[in-house]
Structure 1
């Protein structure tokens, strides 16, 4: 399929599958399958890490930070560096863990509103542009591969699949955000806080890390609740 054909398809509204219940059930089942088993999460969690680090990067760019560089590690850790005013560090640091949940909720909303194809194209475009900021072999492999999968769906998947893909990816990101933040919370409960986002926020603001964790949880759970409400409305419950 030609690029213009993909663009045209992305701008065309897509309807829900004949059975919204099947869509929602499949999305939830696949999300849990991709997030809960540890062996699977070691691979799929990289996608959540990409969005996490892009959350830092985008928040930094919004506050005028520059020279953004993003690195990914196989253990799901990552590092986003940038230069700018010290006052922008807390803002930039905070949005890593909430970013996957926010994007996930946006994808669920877009898919259910008939704009799943548009949302997938926007995600692919953002990933392509983000290569400018990526550093390291894992980032250079994982980011283009993820973008290629999204473009492949736009090029070859039937319309109902595009809606399902957007909703499914959204649910996966929301569930992934919950797991990632739960992992961070466990580390803080064990006193292993060095270098975490909450620990950095505590050092920069003198506000305890537990407060920052609570704020992150509020955003993530709000996104999860909003996504769940939208899915319930879609199936008429």
Structure 2
């Protein structure tokens, strides 16, 4: 049985030197080309950025989420996380992932094959709107542990895995550009630039993960998105659509609060 999930997001070797303590020197994994050295870089910690940078990246991420013209472009990244969530959970629950499509209107489509009902189907359907904020929460946990390099490379690996399953040119372009940004920053940028990029990305997932469910609710009130994730979940479980929206909102807002507290811990400590 083939199952389809649609996302209606908003509409529906010696290289550069190692890290300088002040963050001005470029950071490169090329300087640790041996497997052991590479693992040490990936598993090690990096200096925490200054408090002003953490706050500034939060404001930058907010500017990428709130203005509607900007959001029309940046929400493509949220769609990547949304559809990636569907795909990952489909595989983890034993379903066969047929492919993922990302569209220029920021909607997406994930097709999997397996039982049309049951826990695996429910978890797969529920993974879309919860994936971006939960990824942001996981990223905030890594940043709170000063593991900036690990976060950048984990994100690159996830995007590479997603690219294998993308089945349309626009989707492939979005994933390639996003992955290239993470890869280039992690290989060529200074420590401070890496930190700024990582914090902005995590803040964006936390903040951007809140908006899509509200937009979907608004669209449904105007007669749109009749086969949304929430509607599919309602048919699968018998639970009213409104409760599934409450679930999406709870996950995204709790992730934002929890992740935000982790990220802002240095600033909160200064205020205290």
Which range, TM-score by smaller chain? over 0.9
1:44 and 2:74 matched: yes
Q: Is the 8 A contact 2:42 2:150 kept in 1?
A: yes
Q: Give, in angstroms, the shift of residue 149 of structure 1.
A: 0.4
Q: Distance in 2 between matches of 1:15 and 1:112?
A: 11
Q: Which ranges in structure 2 are unaligned for 5 or more consecutive residues?
A: 1-14, 16-27, 33-37
Q: Distance in 2 between matches of 1:232 and 1:134?
A: 35
1:214 and 2:246 matched: yes
> Normalized per residue, which structure has more helix?
1
Say which of 55, 58, 76 aligns to 1:28.
58
Say which of 63, 71, 82 aligns to 2:112.
82
The SS at the match of 1:75 is coil
Q: Distance in 1 between matches of 2:260 and 2:171?
A: 31
How many matched pairs? 235
Q: Give, in angstroms, the shift of residue 51 of structure 1.
A: 0.3
- Per the normalisation by structure 2, the TM-score is 0.81
1:133 and 2:135 matched: no
Q: Distance in 2 between matches of 1:216 and 1:94?
A: 8
Moved more, 48-57 or 223-232: 223-232
1:225 and 2:257 matched: yes
Q: Distance in 2 between matches of 1:176 and 1:48?
A: 7
Q: Give, in angstroms, the shift of residue 3 of structure 1.
A: 6.5
Q: Distance in 2 between matches of 1:217 and 1:196?
A: 15
The SS at the match of 2:101 is strand
Q: Give, in angstroms, the shift of residue 112 of structure 1.
A: 2.5
Between structure 1 and structure 2, the one with the greater Rg is 2
Q: Specify the alignment match of 1:117 in structure 2.
A: 149
Q: Distance in 2 between matches of 1:152 and 1:193?
A: 37
Q: Is the 8 A contact 2:79 2:102 kept in 1?
A: yes
Q: Distance in 1 between matches of 2:62 and 2:115?
A: 40
RMSD: 1.8
Q: Give, in angstroms, the shift of residue 193 of structure 1.
A: 4.0
Q: Which ranges in structure 1 are unaligned for 5 or more consecutive residues?
A: none
